Amino acid sequence: MKAALIQLNSSDDPDENLAVTHSLVAEAAGAGADFVLTPEVTNCVSADRTRQQEVLHPEMTDPTLAGLQAQARDLGIWLLIGSLALKTEDADGRFANRSFLVSPEGRIVARYDKIHMFDVQVSETETYRESAGYRPGTTSVLARTPIGGIGMTVCYDIRFPHLFRQLARSGAQILTVPSAFSPVTGAAHWETLLRARAIETGCYVLAPAQTGQHGSVSAKRRETYGHSLAVGPWGDILADGGTEPGIVYVDLDLSEVTKARQRIPSLDATTEFDGP
């Protein structure tokens, strides 16, 4: 099976982002990809809640979701829409940061709301408060599909290894981590965290990412790290998207999952111990 990780430089204009995504998904399918993945907040990178209120939709009427479902069906591919920023019915007006797995028939077979919110002061000048705009999910999601068990996570979730272990022990062979990583923490941690989760779980880890400067030069500008990464079950880096928007490809062979877990059976261990 051939997977394609799409790297985007999404703006705060969902129509523009959908057009770019359509063209890269078509290119990936044309190159023979069976499973195509897009990054976190494919439809809109913005930290401006007024702007988000104007351009975002609820799941039921979201044009990015409908457009990509139709494209997955037309091309007959599996599609992970890394995430979409969507309106919710919440009284506090917070959005959902929701990942979708779409089948080659264009059906949504799984949806996952990002659990861990990035509320972090990265440096003296750079602070993120994701939970101010987004409502966290409360349920982990494993999709059992003909292309394998797919454990769905998003971005900052990567720092919570128990989530990944639980997904793998429940049957995940592929873990998806669509992201919009900060440049500072990306340079320091991104590759190490993704490789560690792959090694610990004996899973493929597929992490399509946002990259570059988002938005005009203004107070609301954001920057992301890029380097969409595909990691094998032995921890080897199979593809790296660099810093430009585009596509990287990776061949997946689920017998490699079995092999890695036979060599290091740590995922099966349930050793109990005393202590703090």
Q: Is 155 noted as a catalytic residue in this protein? A: yes
Considering only the stretches 65-73, 141-149, 175-183, 241-249, report the one whose residues sit in contact with ligand KGT under the rule CB under 6 A. 175-183
User: Could you tell me the smallest distance in angstroms from the CB atom of residue 122 to ligand KGT?
Assistant: 7
CB of 116 to ligand KGT, least distance (A): 8
Q: Is the CB of 151 or the CB of 215 nearer to ligand KGT?
A: 215
- Answer for which of 128, 160, 234, 249 binds ligand KGT (CB under 6 A) is 128
- Residue pointed to by tokens 């929701």: 98
11-49 core/surface letters (b: 16 or more CB in 10 A; e: else):
bbbbeebbebbeebbeebbeeebbbbbbbbbbbbbbbbe
Q: Is 181 exposed, middle or buried (0-12, 13-18, 19+ CB in 10 A)?
A: buried
Interface size with ligand KGT, residues (CB under 6 A): 14
Q: How far is the CB of 71 from ligand KGT (least distance, A)?
A: 23
φ, ψ (nearest 5 deg) of residue 55 = -105, -15
Residue 114 annotated to the active site: yes
Q: Which of 41, 72, 75, 174 binds ligand KGT (CB under 6 A)?
A: 41
Which CB, 147 or 207, lies closer to ligand KGT? 207
Q: For ligand KGT, which stretch binds (CB under 6 A), given 37-45, 54-62, 72-80, 249-257?
A: 37-45
Q: Based on the shown chain and the rule CB under 6 A, indicate whether residue 180 belongs to the binding site for ligand KGT.
A: yes
Cβ atoms of residues 256 and 234 within 8 Å: yes
Tokens of 7: 């790297």
In a 10 Å sphere around its CB, with 0-12 CB exposed, 13-18 middle and 19+ buried, how is residue 101 labelled?
Answer: buried
Whether 35 and 80 have beta carbons less than 8 Å apart is answered as: yes
Out of 95, 112, 164, 181, point to the residue binding ligand KGT (CB under 6 A): 181
Please give the helix or strand (H or E) that residue 79 lies within, else none. strand 78-86
| Active-site residue, 259 included | no
- What minimum distance in Å lies between the beta carbon of 38 and ligand KGT? 13
The closest residue (CB) to ligand KGT is: 185
Q: Which of 8, 28, 77, 155 binds ligand KGT (CB under 6 A)?
A: 155
Q: Are 85 and 41 in contact (CB under 8 A)?
A: yes
Site string for ligand KGT, 76-105 (x = CB under 6 A): ---------------------x--------
The DSSP bridge partners found for residue 35 are: 3, 78
- Please count the CA atoms within 13 angstroms of the CA of 272 that sit on its side-chain side: 0
Q: Which residues are catalytic?
A: 40, 114, 155
Binding residues (CB under 6 A) for ligand KGT: these are: 40-41, 45, 97, 118, 128, 130, 155-156, 159, 180-182, 185
